[in-house]
Each structure stands twice: as C-alpha cells, then as structure tokens.
C-alpha cells in the first residue's frame, strides 16, 4: 500500500474520455477489471463514465453500473462527465462523488459538443449546482473550460473569453474550474500565462489541467502547469482519448509517462509505476483492437530509478 502523502493528484480519465473516443465497446466486466487495476496501482480519482444517451455514445451505455461498481473501492473519488442536468441527476443517483461539466470557451465547439451555446451551458451549470445543493451536497461540481487554448472548428479562442467563462461557471455554483487543451493546440508559454490568469481570477477554485499530447507537447505543458501551481492533472492510460466532436483532437497525456516524469522529479503521485504498467493488460484485453501508447512502458524505467512515492506491503 502507499505509505506516503502525495504532492499532486493524477486523475485517470481513460474509462470515460478514452473509451468514448474509440470505436470498440469495452464490456462492463472488463471496465471493472481495468478500474480495479488502476485503483490497485494507487490511482485515487477516476472518471469512470459519461452520462449521455446510449444512442449518442454506446460506449457509455453501462455508466450507472460502472459507477456503482467503482463506489465499492474505498477512498476512490468516482467521477463522471455530465453535459446537462438530466445527466447530473442520473450520475448522482448512481452514486458519483464528483460530476464534471464540459463548458467550451469556443462558441463553435459548444454547439458541436453539447448542442448548446456557451451562455446556455452556464445556465446548465447553475441548474446542476442548485440540484446538487438541494439533493446531494456532498457531490463536487467541476466545470472544466474546454478548447481553452484553441479550437479546430473556430481557430483562435480569445484568452479573455476563457477567463470570463471560468468566472461565470464559478459564479453559477461550480466548486472548481480547470482548463482543457481539447485539441492539443497549447504550448508551455500559453499554459503558464492562462493558468496564471485563471488563478488570479478564481483563486483556489482553479482546477485541473486536462492536456492532450496531439502535437507532442503534453508532458511539457503539464510541467508548465505544475510550475504555475497546478496540482491536479487529468491523463489517460495508454494515451486513449480525444473528443469525438473536435476533429483531430486525439491523444490524451499518457498516465504512465506523466507519473514517471513527476516521480523522477521527486514529486509524489501516490502511484506505483510497476502496478500501473500492469494495469495496461486489462485495458488491452478489454479493447484488443485498439492501439495503446506510452514511452516509459515501452522503454522501461532507467537503471537505479528511485520513485518519490514509496510503497510498503
């Protein structure tokens, strides 16, 4: 078991972001086996599902079953993506600890992704936050700002609009708002600038960095965010994921590589790398026709490598 405190939180989004972005449908029992393996490796926050109509995302048709299974793992924060109040109600009924609401800074992406304008999504966050307050005050509401660094549909997204969106969702009742590089456009200088502005605007309600490796800058961008004080990072095992409504948005940051980078730097993630590598097996068994990636799992850790997180049996 992990015997130390952690410096940062690695939030695994593969069971949601990864699986909804591929054609394969992983059977429920194989999802559960993968979640088990991630948990055994020390991952303590997992986005396990999206609560959306099965006809839109058949990969997520078993969302309530997966949530109920994951809730049996002690100390795990079980998270789900919800695009609207109806999804939030279903997720809360299933027992989630946290809902994430995708709110796009890009007006074009907002319409493509959730079929609502940005202003309508702010109202949706307000409804979700009120429902949570009335019926499930223990549940956290995160409203991440998607396409915060650029959009394949719209192009440039003004930084002022990104910060405005974050301020609006916090005012609407969200507990936190992070920034998502949905399309993999960001560079480290941009990451530093925007996260600094985010923290100045909403203080300790500034949330996770959800960054993609589409153009090879995922780890560099995570490090830049860390240097600006970000302590929560979304990533996906094997680099699965993207966004089905943002053309070309492939490649989440690889969890295994991200954990290695931080552990090699002496930053505790609470994750056991050996067990994390082992968790790739149930993932590959569950989606045998999909390619999974990762530099460190392929190359192995360097000789003499000492992780920052120490585990004891």
Our separate counts of H helices and E strands in the chain read: 12, 8
pLDDT at 305: 96
Closest CA to 43 of 310, 217, 256, 305: 256
User: Is 130 within the bounds of a domain?
Assistant: yes
Q: How far apart are CA 172 and CA 221, in angstroms?
A: 29
Q: Domain range spanning residue 193?
A: 9-299
Catalytic residue among 81, 82, 217, 243: 243
Mean pLDDT by 10 residues, the chain (313 residues): 77 95 93 98 98 94 98 98 97 98 88 82 96 98 95 90 97 98 94 98 98 93 98 95 51 94 98 98 95 92 95 70
Element (H, E) at 46: strand 45-50
User: Would you call 151 a catalytic residue per the annotation?
Assistant: no
Q: Across the chain, what does the average pLDDT equal?
A: 93
pLDDT at 110: 80
User: Is 3 within the bounds of a domain?
Assistant: no
pLDDT at 66: 98
User: Is 247 within the bounds of a domain?
Assistant: yes
Number of structural domains, the chain? 1
Number of C-beta neighbours around residue 228 at 10 A:
17
Closest CA to 273 of 46, 15, 41, 10: 41
User: Is 309 within the bounds of a domain?
Assistant: no
Burial 141-152 (b: 16+ CB within 10 A, else e): bbbbbbbbbbbb
The model's pTM is 0.95
User: Is 81 within the bounds of a domain?
Assistant: yes
User: Is 304 within the bounds of a domain?
Assistant: no
Read off the CATH number of the domain in which 263 is found. 3.20.20.70
User: Is 1 within the bounds of a domain?
Assistant: no
User: Is 307 within the bounds of a domain?
Assistant: no
Q: Where are the beta strands (DSSP E) in 181-267?
A: 206-210, 232-235
pLDDT at 247: 46
């Amino acid at each position: 078991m992990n015997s130390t405190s952690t410096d940062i939180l690695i939030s695994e989004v593969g069971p949601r972001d990864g699986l909804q972005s591929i054609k394969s449908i992983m059977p429920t029992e194989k999802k559960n086996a993968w979640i088990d393996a991630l948990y055994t490796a020390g991952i303590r926050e997992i986005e396990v599902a999206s609560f959306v109509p099965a006809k839109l995302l058949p990969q997520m048709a078993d969302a309530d079953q997966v949530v109920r299974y994951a809730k049996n793992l002690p100390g795990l924060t079980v998270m789900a993506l919800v695009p609207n109040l109806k999804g939030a109600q279903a997720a809360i009924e299933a027992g989630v600890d946290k809902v994430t609401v995708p709110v796009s800074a890009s007006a074009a992406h907002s319409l493509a992704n959730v079929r609502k304008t940005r202003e309508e999504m702010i109202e949706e966050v307000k409804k979700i936050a009120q429902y949570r307050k009335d019926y499930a005050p223990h549940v956290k509401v995160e409203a991440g700002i998607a396409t915060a660094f650029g959009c394949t549909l719209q192009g440039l997204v003004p930084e002022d609009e990104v910060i405005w969106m974050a301020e609006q969702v916090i005012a609407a009742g969200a507990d936190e708002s992070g920034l998502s590089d949905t399309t993999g456009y960001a560079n480290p200088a941009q990451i530093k600038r925007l996260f600094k502005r985010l923290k100045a605007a909403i203080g300790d309600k500034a949330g996770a960095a959800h960054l993609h490796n589409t153009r090879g800058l995922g780890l560099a961008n995570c490090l830049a965010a860390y240097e600006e004080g970000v302590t929560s990072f979304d990533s996906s095992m094997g680099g699965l994921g993207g966004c089905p409504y943002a053309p070309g948005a492939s490649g989440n940051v690889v969890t295994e590589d991200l954990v290695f980078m931080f552990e090699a730097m002496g930053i505790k993630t609470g994750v056991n790398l050996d067990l994390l590598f082992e968790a790739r097996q149930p993932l590959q068994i569950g989606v045998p026709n999909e390619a999974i990636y990762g530099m460190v799992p392929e190359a192995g850790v360097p000789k003499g490598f000492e992780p920052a997180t120490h585990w004891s049996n």
